[in-house]
Amino acid sequence: MNAKPDWSIADADELYRISGWGAGYFRLNADGNLVVSAPLRNGKTAEIAMLDLIEGMEVRGKSMPVMLRVQNLLENQIKLINESFSKAIADSNYRGKYRGVFPIKVNQQAQVIEDIVRFGKPWQHGLEAGSKAELMIALSMLSEPGPLIVCNGYKDREFVELGLGMTKLGFQVIFVIETPAELPIIVESSQAMGVRPVIGVRAKLFSRVSGRWNATSGDRSMFGLNASQLVGVIDGLKAAGMLDCLQFLHYHLGSQIPNIRDIRTGVREACRYYVELVEEGAPMRFLDLGGGLAVDYDGSRTSAIHSRNYALEEYCVDVVETIQSVLDEKGIEHPTIVTESGRSTVAYSTVLMFNILDVTGFSDASLPADIDEKASDLVHNLMESYRMLSDKTVQECFNDAVYYRDEARDGFMRGQLDLRTRSQIEQIFMVIMAEVQKIADRNPDALSEPEVLKTMLADIYYGNFSVFQSLPDAWAIDQIFPVVPLHRHLERPTRNSIIADMTCDSDGKIDRFPENGEVSRALPLHEIREGEEYYLGAFLVGAYQETLGDLHNLLGDTHVVSVYINEDGSFDFVGEVEGDSVADVLSYVEYQPNNLLAQFRQTAERAVRNGTISAGERQHLVNAFEAGLRGYTYYEQ
């Protein structure tokens, strides 16, 4: 009988929760490599190892880090949400339709919007614009009438007139009134242009949802109209003879709603507003639920803030049946259901891939070779704690070691301990912590605060990327993203680690990782092998991250590569965007690269005149400066 291997693909999948958050798009193959499993238009799937994609990028001159977009996943997400709603509508005998719109603010990148429009064409999937610039994107990308263009956000006269002009051309532009001040602008502009617009109102629901992004829910939400403001809009439209234009009700409770019960509650309350608008005489046709369809970032499939406790099919069925049950009681015709599911549409399709540059280890300390009998009492006390350490004394020895370590640090600050003594104490302390960790691994209840120990011993893996540029939500709001090695999953990962980026900032790190619905402060990774690259991927980063990124330390946009996986299992590089050069990011902060080069030439020429360097050395320095301006802002081999 063969013995069970020490580590298996199943173990790796369970550790990194790939089957949980991967939504069927990512898995591990028999070689221990992470693969993308791409749905194909013929109903089958094709699998490509991420390492193969990296190899293809590198031969095309794209070094790490790279933002990878897999178009198949975006195409399939649009297909899934439209077909799931269509099925729920058919199964429930619902008399309305479904129309999806993508909120441009979730990812404004031109390639992404172009793909959404192209892949959404069979379902007339539309766009939502929350600003004048986003409206211009929508008006230019949607070249044919049919898809909805939902206008949210603050709208000045120019914004409104742009939309009214497209209405004249036959496009379905909907003006959602967010504040009472927008009503007279829409009324006056439409009357002046002779256009009967489709008008919507955003209701401020009192229903609140759980999760991190719940500030847009509840009656203290910054956006939307309360009951008295809604009545004011209705009366204003009646006075203008335009109540027939009010056909659209919108609300938004948050972009990531983890609990299906909150979704049902919000839909039910919105339906009450819908009923009242109909009874006021408005010929209502659309009910827009906004966003909220969550992404399971931690793979736990629970109501934890980074997860969701429902499937897409359940979401669609609950929405359809709730609307149907409320409106049927009043004999009101079923509306077209609209959702603005942005996060769930684009999150899966984008992966940040980067390599590890260096490692600082904390768990490999060894006891000092020899300890003088005259050494500090703190040294001997720590050694005694080490000798006493056992399963029964682990908590006591842990507490004592931390106490003696802190005393040593205070003594060093006061000049009572020299550097070598402090070094010995730190060595012994880390050896004790490593032994404590082994005991805690065998017996998780041995320590009262095991996460403290995990953080204390975590190695630092230095990644070739910027958190602030590529994963800003991980820094700003403690958003969790799955981070997984792209290879070596046949090996047990033995190093608890945090991941530091290239910025000179203590916040430039990832030290929060999903773990069974909770948050772990360290991620198991593999030992780095000399001369061999170690690749990691941060997944589900297609929503918000690219546009929110900043230029901390002037680390710019990464390379972006879009691939489409074909039915024969091959893949095409269908789009490549060069990452920012040093010259690019300098120009963003108002430096003129040509002027900088001219100034550097003058500095180098003065050095030649002074005899500091030769003319040949000057030219070598100038060439290096020019090459640096052209270079990638990230680490280059």
DSSP-assigned letter for residue 539? -
Helix/strand/coil (H, E, C) string of 393-437? Answer: CHHHHHHHHHHHHHHHHHHHHCCCCCHHHHHHHHHHHHHHHHHHH
Q: Are 332 and 285 in contact (CB under 8 A)?
A: no
Per-residue CA distances from 306 to 255, 309, 516, 620 (Å): 11, 10, 11, 52
Tell me how far apart the alpha carbons of residues 107 and 473 are, in angstroms, rounded to a whole number. Answer: 14
Degrees to nearest 5, angle at CA 423 with 387 and 392: 20
Tell me how far apart the alpha carbons of residues 273 and 282 are, in angstroms, rounded to a whole number. Answer: 12
Per-residue CA distances from 247 to 5, 150, 327, 389 (Å): 63, 12, 16, 73
Could you confirm whether 504 is annotated as catalytic? yes
DSSP-assigned letter for residue 294? -
Tell me how far apart the alpha carbons of residues 248 and 278 are, in angstroms, rounded to a whole number. Answer: 11
Residue 235 is inside which H or E element, if any?
A: helix 227-239
Give phi and psi for 81, each to the nearest 5: -70, -40
Closest C-alpha to 254, from 192, 286, 208, 295:
208
3-class DSSP state of 384:
helix
Q: Are 168 and 189 in contact (CB under 8 A)?
A: no
Closest C-alpha to 139, from 106, 172, 99:
172
Residue numbers annotated as active site: 504
